[in-house]
Amino acid sequence: MINDFLKKRFLRYLNIKKTLREMDELNERLLKEKEIRQEFFANASHELKTPITSIRGYAELLESDMIKDEDTKRDMISRIKKEADHMNMLIADILEVSKLESNDIRPEVMRVDVNLLIEDTMETFKPRADEAQVTLYNYSKPGTFVYADYGHMDEIISNLVSNAIRYNRKNGKVWIYASNEGGRMELRVRDTGIGIPKSECSRIFERFYRVDKGRSRVTGGTGLGLSIVKHILSYYKGTIEVNSKTGSGSEFIVRIPEHYER
Ligand code: ADP
């Protein structure tokens, strides 16, 4: 009798202890998430301040009437426009990150023809590639598919192709391969660009992390592209890896299960 009573008390004690431990863990996780969110918003406002400061500076100079030369004035106006475009891109990426973070993802899953999507992406990026003197090649297998949200797949491919152009060299090349392999859709984007130092390869997926901040900014980068790609991929239980050699180029490999499962 006493034995039973003690056993029950002991089990109750163990249950309370487990609940307390779980509450501690939850609390710790919430604090960590809060810290990460705060850090993200601090970084985001810092990033937004840079174009705002530039725009203000140019506007004040134009207003002061100190600039008489018409060409210089036009140059300043085009810089203002460029900074405003950069702010637009930053805001769009910041909103995308917040949306992904809040798990407010309602994918419209459909059969995405990856080869067609790559052709469309190449068409979109052709003017930018021409300007950078970079040639794009698509060696994907016709009929390559994945069941996913079209917009998500577009985001992944566009980010990788855009980076492959942005961090390339004059007369550089970008090769894109997609195929279905062992129940997964595999996408490879390879470039002949500047490459990434080995020690930085894992860090480039962090928000706002850039190997060369100056190059990223002048070419219109926000520092959020790869973190968005990684976040989308985790939703589809997909993976991304990078192989790179400084000075000779990079290859990004994405793998996503062909069929979406939640
Ligand atoms: P960004 O807008 O700066 O390009 P990303 O998140 O897309 O931001 O990429 C993070 C960083 O990773 C870039 O700033 C760049 O330093 C590096 N990076 C990404 N893709 C490539 C690439 N194909 N070749 C070399 N460096 C790259």
Question: pLDDT per residue over 38-69, tens digit each?
Answer: 999 999 999 999 999 999 999 999 999 888 89
Report which DSSP code applies to 69.
-
Does residue 129 share a domain with residue 21?
no
What's the CA gap between 94 and 99, in Å, rounded?
Answer: 9
pTM of this prediction exceeds 0.85: yes
Average pLDDT over residues 232-261: 95
For position 1, what pLDDT does the model report?
A: 64
HSE-CB at 190 with a 13 A cutoff on CA atoms is 12
Domain count, the chain: 2
Domain closes at, from 46, 72, 101: 101
CB 93 less than 6 A from any atom of ligand 1: no
Domain end among 101, 136, 170: 101
- pLDDT at position 117: 97
Report the C-alpha gap between 210 and 100 in whole angstroms: 21
pLDDT per position as a tens digit, 131-177 = 999 999 999 999 999 999 999 999 999 999 999 999 999 999 999 99
Q: CA-CA distance, 21 to 16, in Å (whole number)?
A: 9
Residue 2 has pLDDT above 80, yes or no: no
| Residue 211 beta carbon below 6 angstroms from any ligand 1 atom | yes
Mean of pLDDT values over 102-117: 90
- Please give the Cα distance from 79 to 150 (Å, whole number): 34
Residues 23 and 71 in one domain: yes
From the alpha carbon of 193, which atom of ligand 1 is closest? Answer: 24
Examine residue 45 and state whether it is found in any structural domain, yes or no. Answer: yes
